[in-house]
Amino acid sequence: MPSDRRPTVRGRRLGAALRRFRLAAKLDQEHAAEALGCSTAKISRIESGANCARAPEVRYLLDLYEVHDPTTRYQLERLARSANKRGWWLNQPVPVPDKLGDYLALEADATFIRTWQTSLVPGLLQTAEYTRALVTAKPTRGDDSDVERIVAIRQERRKQFFDSGARLAAVIWEPALTSSMPSPKTHRAQLLDLLWLQQQPLVSLQVLPLSEWSAATSSPSFVMLSFDGEWAPSAVVQETHEESVVLEDENLTTPYAHTFDTLRSAALTTEQTSSFIQKLVADLSQEDEPA
């Protein structure tokens, strides 16, 4: 087990996949326990993510479940080997809350992230100054060291994600970009950064016009994560005032994929979005010019 003795997100993903294949093979936990020479309690712990199966155990179980696809086998064995891997966030000088750590583990493994935001620039696309302005405006901001810690973690998240080679598609409702920010300088810098990100080959950014009210109100903000090059989402994350809620059941995540497709269809194209942001930057620059 990892040093903090908590079930890992990777362990839960692996366990859920093994359970799904067992059920598809119409076998019970006793069959799996017999194959591994262990108790049914251990199989239950593996499938719940409380324990993580080792790579040889994964191979035995996949043989039993007649899962022969080499890509699937490779992905699950790799997941078993990395289940207890120490994430970069565990090296922070101040401990990262468990719930945030769980989300960061999902984000670190994702190969495709889709996000819909109604009032904010997505976290992975925020400049340090924009994040600092957001955190400083919160009533529960804490002291200056707390603010800087949050800014540093978010910037490290951004770096880790873009270094990973994963893809990101974002749809942002127009008010998130047009609403006044505490500092025009911060506002302009964030918009210029979005224009730069838009030019990166693995980033797709689209603005949903204010006029598309029906599409904009179809869903609250969410982040959708896919793994191992798959298009289908394996997890959807929604923020509340207290914590992040992670949905992993396929019946719950699939509707979000359809919602995101609807949002992208209603949004400006990537080219139109770039033109839209360029105009916002020009308007801000004119406002700063001396009379």
What are the pLDDT digits (tens) for 176-209?
999 988 789 999 999 999 999 999 999 999 999 9
User: 66 and 51, same structural domain?
Assistant: yes
User: 107 and 123, same structural domain?
Assistant: yes
* pLDDT the model gives residue 241: 60
* pLDDT the model gives residue 159: 93
Let me know if residue 216 belongs to a domain. Answer: yes
Q: Which domain holds residue 63?
A: 9-82
Alpha carbons within 13 angstroms on the beta-carbon side of residue 139 total 1
Residue 232 has pLDDT above 60, yes or no: yes
pLDDT tier, 240 (very low <50, low <70, confident <90, very high otherwise): low
Residue 169 has pLDDT above 90, yes or no: yes
Per-residue tokens: 272: 């139109």
User: 120 and 237, same structural domain?
Assistant: yes
Let me know if residue 211 belongs to a domain. Answer: yes
Residue 27 has pLDDT above 50, yes or no: yes
pLDDT tier, 79 (very low <50, low <70, confident <90, very high otherwise): confident
* pLDDT the model gives residue 10: 77
User: 118 and 237, same structural domain?
Assistant: yes
pLDDT tier, 2 (very low <50, low <70, confident <90, very high otherwise): very low
* pLDDT the model gives residue 290: 47
Let me know if residue 189 belongs to a domain. Answer: yes
Let me know if residue 204 belongs to a domain. Answer: yes
Total number of domains in the chain = 2
What are the pLDDT digits (tens) for 241-260?
656 788 888 888 999 999 99
User: 147 and 62, same structural domain?
Assistant: no
Residue 257 CA from chain centroid, whole number: 14
Amino acid (one-letter) located at 121: V
User: 164 and 56, same structural domain?
Assistant: no
* pLDDT mean over 204-223: 95
Residue 1 has pLDDT above 70, yes or no: no
The last residue of one of the domains, among 82, 99, 124, is 82
User: 267 and 150, same structural domain?
Assistant: yes
What are the pLDDT digits (tens) for 58-73?
999 999 999 998 888 9
Please give the model's pTM, rounded to 2 decimal places. 0.79
User: 38 and 121, same structural domain?
Assistant: no
User: 228 and 188, same structural domain?
Assistant: yes
CATH number of the domain where residue 204 is located: 3.30.870
Q: Count Cβ atoms below 10 Å from residue 173 Cβ, excluding itself.
A: 24
CATH number of the domain where residue 28 is located: 1.10.260.40
pLDDT tier, 141 (very low <50, low <70, confident <90, very high otherwise): low
* pLDDT the model gives residue 9: 74
Let me know if residue 214 belongs to a domain. Answer: yes
**Mean pLDDT of all residues belonging to the chain:** 87
What are the pLDDT digits (tens) for 107-117?
888 899 999 99
Query: β-strands 167-173, 203-208: how paired?
Result: parallel
The last residue of one of the domains, among 45, 66, 82, is 82
User: 275 and 178, same structural domain?
Assistant: yes
User: 14 and 155, same structural domain?
Assistant: no
User: 267 and 131, same structural domain?
Assistant: yes
Let me know if residue 4 belongs to a domain. Answer: no
Let me know if residue 3 belongs to a domain. Answer: no
The last residue of one of the domains, among 25, 52, 82, is 82
